[in-house]
Amino acid sequence: MILIAVVLAVVLVFTFGRQVLEWVVENTSIRNYWVSAFQSVKWPITIVVLVVAFTLCYYLMPNAKMRFWTIMPGAVFATVGWIVVSYAFSLYMRYFGSGFSAYGTLAAFVVLLLWLFVNSFIVMVGAVLNACVYEYFYGQIHGSKGRVHDFAQTRIHWHPHHR
């Protein structure tokens, strides 16, 4: 849940950060320096947070035993895809989604749903890419109940069905 919140916060800051920061600069006494500082650190922070979040998701969530290095191609693919789609959405919102008519609002909502769909598709393609890389180098993937379950069972000796 925390990973989802962090990724969503990064994407929202990436998508709407400049517009919000420009509005804050216009309406407060904050200097324009903060807008340029935000622009210079936005890309590196976004990329690092997304790669870490996707790496953790691809490592902890699947119900398969994957090696750590085999999840990196999917994490990098998902990060690049997510950034490209989010940037396209940001451009749409900047140039076409700021209308006050009813159709502009409806179109922005439809594009938001499209953004969610395409990003979920990119995340799934990244997972499939990871599975293909693993199968190419190590053969068939062996199932498990997930990393968190395996950790709890082996390290803490937790057995949910034995009470």
Q: Give percent of the chain above pLDDT 70.
A: 69
DSSP 90-131: HHHHHHTTT--SHHHHHHHHHHHHHHHHHHHHHHHHHHHHHH
Q: What's the average model confidence in pLDDT over 94-123?
A: 78
pTM exceeding the 0.75 threshold for the entire prediction: no
Q: Give percent of the chain above pLDDT 90.
A: 21
pLDDT at 88: 85
pLDDT digits (tens, 9 = 90+) for 118-143: 999 999 999 999 999 999 998 888 77
pLDDT digits (tens, 9 = 90+) for 23-63: 777 777 777 777 777 778 878 888 888 899 899 888 888 88
CA-to-CA distance for 18 and 87, rounded, in angstroms?
A: 12
